[in-house]
Amino acid sequence: MLGDVSNSLDSEVEAYLIGGFSMMHHGLKVVTKDVDVVFMEDADAQRFEAALGSCGFRRASGLSEAYEALGATTVMERSDGMRFDIFVERVCRKLKLTDGMRHRAEGMDLKGRLRLMATTPEDIFLFKSVTDREDDLADMALLAGLGLDWEAMMDELRRDADNYRYLPHFASKLDALEEVHGIVVPNRRGLDEEVEVIMVKNILDDRFRQAPFTLSDATRYLGEGDEFSKLVLDRMMDRGMVREAEGLYKMAGR
């Protein structure tokens, strides 16, 4: 089927698989009817959509709330239930496909004009850590069975300022993985502290996007004591998230 789509393209297109189809490439699934594919350019996504159309796919209608929440640029489906969730750069309005992820991806053997890349198990795990689809946690358990590089995944989130804000989602899924599947991630020391800092940053970012604020402002808005607020603000300054001058704080980059 993908061969037909590849041959139907009018020019070369590069696409990245991040879900079940990529898991098939790594030997973790036998079949999937939902294909998550990411493009770096709108034009490539549109060319791919047109090629799918010539192969019997149509834009999906009447999607469930769960599917609408995915934030796919386009959802294309075929009468037999085969479905493509098409994203451009950012997946589920959250994680971006980074240069590091693209560099690590493996090319798949496919003729035609489609250059199809399968992301690594670690990067599939990362994308599943920020979504809430029914089978994601079970898929993450399968991926964990390969022996993942946990520190590399955390470092990938840390390297990109936009993706870094989703480290709490990642940590929450690790908690669920332990509770539901008994999978304990090693070397989690310090992660909870880091998550706390990011959560506070996200809160303060929303409230103090432009204006400077005092420690008392932060304390009042966070609903915590001065000691907690000062501790977290100091950690944020250590990480370059916030600046302070004469008792006034300002979010970095503002």
**Number of helices followed by number of strands (H, E) in the chain:** 13, 9
CA distances from 207 to 24, 74, 221, 231 (A): 43, 33, 8, 19
Alpha helix segments (H runs only) across the chain:
2-8, 20-25, 42-54, 65-68, 99-104, 121-128, 136-144, 150-159, 161-164, 167-181, 191-207, 215-222, 226-238
Q: Say what the pLDDT of residue 248 is.
A: 92
Q: Say what the pLDDT of residue 66 is.
A: 61
Q: Which of 181, 208, 231 is the last residue of a domain?
A: 181
Mean pLDDT of the chain: 88
Query: What's the number of domains the chain is made of?
Result: 2
- Is the same domain home to 139 and 17? yes
CA distance 96 to 131: 13
Q: Which of 154, 181, 208 is the last residue of a domain?
A: 181
Record the tokens describing residue 172, joined without a space.
């929450």
Tell whether 208 is covered by a domain: yes
Tell whether 186 is covered by a domain: no
- Is the same domain home to 96 and 218? no
Domain range for 53: 2-181
Predicted model pTM: 0.84
**CATH for 236:** 1.10.10.10
Per-block mean pLDDT, blocks of 10 residues, the chain (254 long): 85 93 88 87 94 91 64 83 91 91 93 93 94 87 93 90 88 94 85 86 82 91 89 87 90 71
Q: Do the Cβ atoms of 16 and 117 come closer than 8 Å?
A: yes
**CATH for 100:** 3.30.460
Record the tokens describing residue 41, joined without a space.
């350019």
